[in-house]
Amino acid sequence: MFYKTLFFLLLSSSILIAQTDSGKANNSKFTQVTNNIYMYQSKGGNIGVVIGKDAIFMIDDQFADNIEDVVKDIKRISKNPIKFLVNTHMHGDHTGGNTYLAKKGVTIFSQENTRTGLEKMMRNRREEIRKTNSKNGKIEVTKPPKITLPQITFKEDLTFYFDNETIIIKHIPNAHTDGDVIVYFPKSNVIHTGDILFNKMYPNIDIKNGGSVEGVITALKDITMLANDDTKIIPGHGDLASLQDVKNSMYMLTFIYKRVMMYYRQNKSLEEIQAMNLTQKYDEKYTWEFIDGKKMVNIVYEDIKKQLGEVDTRTIEQRLQDKLKEAQKAKKKGN
């Protein structure tokens, strides 16, 4: 037993060393991806930080309440000012720092649907708050949130020439949302995927904001075509990924999608499909705080329902009875 524990301790310390070797900088929130590209992890989506000769290019900015810490941490690896920011999509864990950064003079870019989506989200939130405030008789008035919108938008692709690095920002239609972009560094062989990839985690797909499961599968396939075995892939959530991780996510999602689709076409209800435990072989690896196998099936089911319409979950007997009732009603009307 003692030896087992000792072995375990040795193993875990070697893992720690390995992590440092593989590029975790002194501050454990950073993973050094290349000479000048870092991944920053704390609350919310993974941030990409590109250190240029005299400026910093940033991808996503987590939340309003931790952006000051993010900026402080970045200052520890470079004194250069942050000049450009790309929002990979509209979600609050990727755009929350916009207001703070815009005030510091950072120029914010996004695909145009991300800007529209952010605007709509703030409008809805204001409306909700207005309703609650009037219910409260103005005793407790909550202030509506304000997120600074991207100042520059684009429809399809955008290319940045940042020192020696060409940065290609590519719009992926209807994947995690309707405004996703991936950020590709051909020279450094790095891709930031935004939330198209949740590495070793079941993905959240925002069907209400134009996302689609098939779109995510296609997008993951596109990323596998862009990448090779040496590509460093910064996912929206989870640790630094490889081409194989992207493939694994794509196979997992395709497996679940095909099966849920088949059972949906057989008029199975969500609960019936969830009870089948289709995700069993993936659950251990991909379950996390917010999404387990059942929730994943739920997301896929909602997506298919949006495409194909409601399923008819009545039994044959119920259907016959309903038909009979309809016929009787029609007869009465006819009389």
Interface residues with Zn ion (CB under 5 A) are 91, 195
Residue 277 phi, psi (nearest 5): 60, 40
Grouping H, G, I as helix, E, B as strand and the rest as coil, residue 60 is coil
DSSP 8-state symbol, 204: P
CB of residue 333 to Zn ion, shortest distance in Å: 51
CB of residue 293 to Zn ion, shortest distance in Å: 20
CB of residue 115 to Zn ion, shortest distance in Å: 15
Please identify, using beta-carbon distances, which residue of 24 and 91 lies nearer to Zn ion. Answer: 91
DSSP of 28-45, one letter per residue?
Answer: TTEEE-SSSEEEE-SSSS
CB of residue 149 to Zn ion, shortest distance in Å: 17
- Could you list the beta-strand ranges (E) of 186-252: 190-192, 232-234
CB of residue 90 to Zn ion, shortest distance in Å: 8
Please identify, using beta-carbon distances, which residue of 236 and 293 lies nearer to Zn ion. Answer: 236
Name residue, tokens 């969500």.
270
Please identify, using beta-carbon distances, which residue of 24 and 89 lies nearer to Zn ion. Answer: 89
Alpha carbon distance, N-terminus to C-terminus of the chain: 87
DSSP 8-state symbol, 241: B
Q: Which amino acid is at 115?
A: R
Secondary-structure percent of the chain, ordered helix, strand, coil, rounded to 5 = 45, 15, 35
Q: Which two tokens stand for residue 77?
A: 């690896």
* Spatial distance between the Cα atoms of 73 and 46, rounded to a whole number of angstroms: 14
CB of residue 253 to Zn ion, shortest distance in Å: 16
Please identify, using beta-carbon distances, which residue of 33 and 90 lies nearer to Zn ion. Answer: 90
Please identify, using beta-carbon distances, which residue of 86 and 278 lies nearer to Zn ion. Answer: 86
Please identify, using beta-carbon distances, which residue of 51 and 90 lies nearer to Zn ion. Answer: 90
CB of residue 89 to Zn ion, shortest distance in Å: 6
> Closest by alpha carbon to 211, among 48, 128, 37, 88?
88
- Distance set, CA 135 to CA 11, 141, 275 (Å): 58, 10, 41
Q: Strand pairing partners for 166?
A: 161
Please identify, using beta-carbon distances, which residue of 4 and 208 lies nearer to Zn ion. Answer: 208
